[in-house]
A = this chain, B = another copy of it.
Amino acid sequence: MKLLEQRIREEADVIGADILKVDMFLNHQIDVKLLGEIGKEFYRLYSDAHINKILTVEASGIGIACITAQYFSVPVVFAKKGSNSNIGNELFTSEVFSFTKGTNSVIGVSRKYLNSNDNILIIDDFLANGSALTGLIDIVKQSGAALAGAGIVIEKGFQPGGRLIRESGVRIESLAVIKSMDGGSIIFG
């Protein structure tokens, strides 16, 4: 998606070898007009997939998921983070390893909001090692829902998550794929 690549090129900060900061338009300050274009593009890609619900994870996935859901006319469900979630029969949960923090945490979705009649599109801001996406896919499987695919705003193609999850048979559509950002110079793939 050219508009998104342009915003990344012009505004994103590359920190070290693998951190891309886009908190000026995507995950701290949010450009809702850009989210509108992102939502339209996800709808174009998945309009024939009979999605009835969008699943994301707090916090930075929520805005993207809500704006995208307007185009599909479906509700959003967001997984809650935190090992202090009431774990038990009421929730589908999955353990997610955070590479930035070096810790495991649990994400959970109430059993009331996912079931075997659902056909889910997962939406998230980033795909790198794939830990959050794998956790969300695990929750969809536990619920018995069908998974139509995932829509990712920015994929770091030089990290293994996207390849591994696609190889497992999941459809992933990433609107911008970064092939490399060595020396701070971003190359899209």
Chain A residues with a Cβ under 8 A of chain B: 23-25, 28-33, 35-36, 58-59, 62-63, 65-67, 69-70, 73-78, 80, 109-110, 112-113
Contact = CB atoms under 8 A, between A and B. Distances in A.
A87 to B, nearest CB: 15
Q: Is the interface of A mostly helix, strand, loop or mixed?
A: mixed
A65 B78 CA distance: 15
Contacts of A25: 75
A78 B28 contact: yes
A73 B110 CA distance: 33
B30 A78 contact: yes
Given A32-B69, A59-B80, A62-B62, 20 more contacts: A28-B77, A28-B78, A28-B109, A28-B113, A29-B76, A30-B62, A30-B69, A30-B75, A30-B76, A32-B70, A32-B76, A36-B70, A58-B58, A59-B62, A62-B66, A63-B65, A63-B66, A66-B66, A67-B67, A67-B70
